């Protein structure tokens, strides 16, 4: 009896519970489904939208800035979009995670300066870049960011482009393979990834209105592939539409690219942001093109978009579509559920610093090593002169521009973390006498006043240097060089010469630095040059006068240590060029950097006349002699390539043996190119379709494998308007760089 009544009361309780649950669920399912994390992002986004007014929806479609050109709430250091308190929509906080973290424009927020894309590409190490990107993502989350305004997947069309350092390469395949790692790493760690600037954004002059005319084949084969890979393979949930026009249409109004290609062909499910300030130029055409969010203010969306719906110029369903993409993405990424948290301690943790060191160690490229001058021998008492402006940060130089490019791609790093190369060299040069002379100013003269205002703690020598003219600095350097046994010249540029908004003026070193090299090499024959910058340098005036050249693209905060380790042989250099080094920039296709007038004034377009022949594709076609070809880089050891095997099938399997035949352990970046022997359209002499960084102990051999699917053999057919593989013969080429093919086999498709 007792048991029965107990069971009865259990039944009652269960009944009551189920009623509570039923109504509870109805509450969630009926009214607040979007709050239920168990529902799909699609259901949640639709449910939330059904509760929003038109004004509330439109408010989701623009940035936090209060007037045109204002980059968000600068004071609060926030870029982003507004939340909605009534409905519990969180603020979307945007930052840059390209080199490290840049939180809005808040210089007080610092992070690990991990790398610059071009420095990462010089490692050709996708696994390392993936790990480094995870670290950047974790720091972004710790610093409160949900969306990365990056990374930059534009192609380096010409080395004067001010943001070349923010890009990976002149080659679409290398750019795509690196870029996709970044996207995956970011999104797996809580940060929406926003590759930019979509698309054909290749220089800074007239950046807000330039019209780039290019054929579809060039778009498909050169400028779009990295974005496509980021979306199709990486699942990128955001894209930033560029300022420029493509074939007459502003990218923020370009329905063909933003909707037909991006969404309908590639299956993009996220939302598009405009580039900031001047990206959007209209209300209705922008909304109809599929451009979701106007950054950084509500000049063209906001009230104007509400009015356009109310007066029937545009259907509310269009606005709904734009809002849905954003909310869907935020649900998918768990932002409503506040899924992602990182402890602040992750910022500049030892593990992240170690990663930065790994990047810098693998990024340096040995370009010249006459008579094996490098690595330098450690000889007691030897007098070593370190000369040059990139050897030591200026007194108060805009610190985040030292050893980094300028503009939004850069991060605000911890000053103390970026050591002066001269100090790192002195640490390793045990028993040697190390002296430093600046030799030349690096910052633009005009900027120096501003720079002094931002001064860190000046050291007396630096302050004195700043007041000298270049002649004095060069004279002092010559005196030092004369009495030294060995000179290391650390030259190059910084963010004050190459930056967002500012193209480089010349591919040569600044004139004062060329003079410095000339004068120093007159008095000392043992000179090694270390170049630091974000793109190609024309070295013709001085390269024959020096024995050794090491090239560093910006590659993170440990560049100084890595440089010293390479110079003294503690690390075997293994980076390779992600761009070509012709003998001079006159070898680039004419017009590939546009210096003409503004499009809107005179309607003069920038014509991409070289079509698909960008970078080494062009130089190969024109049989131009290279100083150092694409993919080039020396090592302190030597490698042997042998036993190429190619197995045909649906997937072509390629394998070969790589052996370290020298005395030092080292890494080789082996490259695979394809040459279509006969084709109905002009095709490049060779195109990169695979690469692998392989570590080999002295004497060790490894088998290296690649798989090639049809994509590797295809071209974009302008007549079929599709990717096409033409039957016939293809050379499979394996080599150490694009002009040093070691093994070839021809196959028939």
For residue 152, the SS3 value is strand
Summarize as ranges the residues that interact with ligand BGC (CB under 6 A). 71, 149, 196, 275-276, 408, 500
For the chain, what's the residue count?
749
Contact 322, 287 (CB under 8 A): yes
DSSP 477-532: HHHHHHT-SEEEEEEE--TTTSBTTB--S-SBPPHHHHHHHHHHHHH-S-EEEEEE
CB of 103 vs ligand BGC, minimal distance in Å: 11
Give the integer Cα–Cα distance in Å for 91 and 708: 44
Closest CA to 634 of 364, 361, 376: 364
Give the integer Cα–Cα distance in Å for 153 and 702: 32
For residue 730, the SS3 value is strand
Tokens 């995670």 found at: 97
Tokens 């094996």 found at: 372
Give the integer Cα–Cα distance in Å for 421 and 530: 10
Q: Which residues contact 365 (CB under 8 A, 6 or more apart)?
A: 122, 550, 551, 552, 573, 575, 576, 577, 632, 633
For the chain, the C-alpha Rg in angstroms (whole number) is 28
Closest CA to 458 of 389, 414, 396: 396
Contact 44, 34 (CB under 8 A): yes
Contact 696, 712 (CB under 8 A): no
Give the integer Cα–Cα distance in Å for 82 and 672: 47
Catalytic residue among 47, 73, 171, 275: 275
Contact 355, 119 (CB under 8 A): no
Contact 625, 584 (CB under 8 A): no
Strand partners, 687: 674
Give the integer Cα–Cα distance in Å for 656 and 660: 13
Q: Are strands 639-647 and 652-660 parallel, antiparallel or unpaired?
A: antiparallel
For residue 353, the SS3 value is helix
Strands (E), 559-608: 581-582, 606-607
Crossing angle between the packed helical segments 421-428 and 559-567, to the nearest 10 degrees: 40
90 secondary structure, DSSP code: P
CB of 275 vs ligand BGC, minimal distance in Å: 5
Contact 548, 369 (CB under 8 A): yes
Closest CA to 406 of 395, 397, 396, 394: 397
Closest CA to 678 of 727, 724, 747: 727
Q: Which residue is nearest to ligand BGC (CB)?
A: 408
For residue 732, the SS3 value is strand
- Our answer to whether residue 275 is catalytic in this structure is yes
**Measured from the CB atom, is 115 or 652 closer to ligand BGC?**
115
Closest CA to 694 of 116, 127, 120, 114: 127
CB of 210 vs ligand BGC, minimal distance in Å: 13
Give the integer Cα–Cα distance in Å for 689 and 738: 11
- Annotated catalytic residues are 275
């Amino acid at each position: 009896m007792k048991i029965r009544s107990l069971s009865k009361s259990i039944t009652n309780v269960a009944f009551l519970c189920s009623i509570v649950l039923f109504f509870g669920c109805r509450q969630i399912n009926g009214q607040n489904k979007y709050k239920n994390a168990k529902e799909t992002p699609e259901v949640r986004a639709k449910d939330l939208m059904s509760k929003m007014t038109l004004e509330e929806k439109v408010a989701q479609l623009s940035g936090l800035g209060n007037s045109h050109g204002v980059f968000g709430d600068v004071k609060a250091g926030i870029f982003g979009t507004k939340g909605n308190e009534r409905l519990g929509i969180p603020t979307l906080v945007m930052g840059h995670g390209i080199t490290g973290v840049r939180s809005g424009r808040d210089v007080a927020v610092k992070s690990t300066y991990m790398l610059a894309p071009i420095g990462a590409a010089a490692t050709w190490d996708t696994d390392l870049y993936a790990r480094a990107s995870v670290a950047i993502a974790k720091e972004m989350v710790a610093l409160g960011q949900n969306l990365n305004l990056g990374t930059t997947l534009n192609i380096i069309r010409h080395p004067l482009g001010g943001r070349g350092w923010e890009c990976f390469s002149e080659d679409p395949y290398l750019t795509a393979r690196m870029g996709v790692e970044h996207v995956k790493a970011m999104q797996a760690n809580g940060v929406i990834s926003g590759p930019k600037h979509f698309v054909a954004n290749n220089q800074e002059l007239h950046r807000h209105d330039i019209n780039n005319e290019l054929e579809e084949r060039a778009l498909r084969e050169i400028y779009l592939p990295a974005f496509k890979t980021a979306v199709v393979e990486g699942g990128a949930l955001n894209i930033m539409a560029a300022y420029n026009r493509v074939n007459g249409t502003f990218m923020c109004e370009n329905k063909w690219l933003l909707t037909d290609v991006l969404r309908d062909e590639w299956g993009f499910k996220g939302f598009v942001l405009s580039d900031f300030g001047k990206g959007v130029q209209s209300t209705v055409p922008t909304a109809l093109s599929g451009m979701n969010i106007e950054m950084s203010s509500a000049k063209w969306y906001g009230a104007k978009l509400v009015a356009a719906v109310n007066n029937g110029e545009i259907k509310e369903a269009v606005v709904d579509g734009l809002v849905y993409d954003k909310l869907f993405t935020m649900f998918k990424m768990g932002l409503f559920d506040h899924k992602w948290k990182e402890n602040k301690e992750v910022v500049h943790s030892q593990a992240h610093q170690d990663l930065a060191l790994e990047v810098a160690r693998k990024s340096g490229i040995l370009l010249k090593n006459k008579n094996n001058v490098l690595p330098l021998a450690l000889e007691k008492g030897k007098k070593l002169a370190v000369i040059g402006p990139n050897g030591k940060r200026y007194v108060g130089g805009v610190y985040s521009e030292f050893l980094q490019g300028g503009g939004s791609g850069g991060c605000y790093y911890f000053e103390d973390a970026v050591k002066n190369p001269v100090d790192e060299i002195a640490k390793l040069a045990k028993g040697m006498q190390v002296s430093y002379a600046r030799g030349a100013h690096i910052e633009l003269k005009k900027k120096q006043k501003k720079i002094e205002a931002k001064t860190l703690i000046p050291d007396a020598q630096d302050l004195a240097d700043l007041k000298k003219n270049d002649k004095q600095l060069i004279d002092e350097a010559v005196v030092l060089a004369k009495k030294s046994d060995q000179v290391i010249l650390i030259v190059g540029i910084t963010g004050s010469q190459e930056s967002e908004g500012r193209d480089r003026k010349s591919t040569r070193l600044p004139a004062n630095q060329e003079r410095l090299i000339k004068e120093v090499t007159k008095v000392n024959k043992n000179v090694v040059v270390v170049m630091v910058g974000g793109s190609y340098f024309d070295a013709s005036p001085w390269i024959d006068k020096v024995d050794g050249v090491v090239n560093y693209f910006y590659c993170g905060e440990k560049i100084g240590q890595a440089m010293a380790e390479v110079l003294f042989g503690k690390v075997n250099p293994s980076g390779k060029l992600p761009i070509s080094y012709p003998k001079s920039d006159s070898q680039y296709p004419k017009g590939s950097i546009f210096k003409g007038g503004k499009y809107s004034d005179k309607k003069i377009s920038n014509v991409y006349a070289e079509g698909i022949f960008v970078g080494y594709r062009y130089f190969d076609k024109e049989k131009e002699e290279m100083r150092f070809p694409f993919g080039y880089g020396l090592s302190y050891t030597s490698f042997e390539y042998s036993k190429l095997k190619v197995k045909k099938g649906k997937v072509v399997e390629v394998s070969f043996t790589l052996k370290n035949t020298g005395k030092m352990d080292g890494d080789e970046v082996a490259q695979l190119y394809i040459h279509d022997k006969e084709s109905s359209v002009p095709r490049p002499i060779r195109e990169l379709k695979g690469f692998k960084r392989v570590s080999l102990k002295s004497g060790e051999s490894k088998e290296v494998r690649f798989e090639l699917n049809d994509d590797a053999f295809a071209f974009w057919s302008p007549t079929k308007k599709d990717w096409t593989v033409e039957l016939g013969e293809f050379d499979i080429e394996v080599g150490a760089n694009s002009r040093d093919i070691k093994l070839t086999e021809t196959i028939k498709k």
